Structure 1
């Protein structure tokens, strides 16, 4: 398998595991020293920190990614993914509007660095103002 195809398959495995709620399978795609950069947040380094983040996310949000497009460089060392996040806000996250089961849908993307067949860096981006407006508009009314 050429490097581009291998990297695209790796990224798809990572996101298939995300959609399945399988943190172990996601972690298996990562380098032990993975750098995980989250939109509007700090960098977390290492699989343990990644797992902590996933536990926090599972407590506060239920999300599914669809309309996935994955692209990789010819050498397989860089990749990008674009997708749509469909979610439900389950528990209030610090510094964000109160959670009341609001649903949301927004475009997002991520950039990856791949080393030795594993994800060494993942950086995720989405429009926080769009998300905030969606959940604030539905606050008190529940769901979407």
Structure 2
């Protein structure tokens, strides 16, 4: 893949995210996806990624805005920067109680891409900022 193809792939991934379409997200990741979440354990494989997507859909309602996507010339690596506009719907273990709190959070992600599929997603955001917003 080249830079433009990878940027379109990442845009499809995030369009599916914004549409609350986990099947659309799964359609663009590899079977051996490596999913690294901010402050969390690495999840390996499609099944673990699918579990994460299902959990997120129950606990959070999020829309990513102000999306900017970058990719290397050869298309093997990419990054995205965006703002998360969310609502905390169901309490996550170890986190503050969910009461429908809204939050706005700058975030970003890094990707590896191979054979037209995303093989790694690493997401970063400021957990202390999110915690302060939902605890206010």
What is the TM-score of this pair, normalised by structure 1? Answer: 0.93
Q: Which has the larger radius of gyration?
A: 1
Residue of structure 1 equivalent to 2:70: 71
Question: How many matched pairs?
Answer: 136
TM-superposed deviation, 1:59: 1.1
SS in 1 for 2:92: coil
Gaps of 5+ in 1: 138-144
1:115 is aligned to 2:121: no
Q: Deviations over 1:33-92 (max 9, x none)?
A: 000000000111111111100111111110000100000000100000000000000011
1:50 is aligned to 2:49: yes
SS in 2 for 1:94: coil
Residue of structure 2 equivalent to 1:140: none
Residue of structure 1 equivalent to 2:124: 125
Gaps of 5+ in 2: none
| Separation in 1, partners of 2:83, 2:126 | 12
RMSD: 0.7
Q: Post-superposition, which runs of at least 4 consecutive aligned residues in structure 1 deviate over 2 A?
A: none
Residue of structure 2 equivalent to 1:99: 98
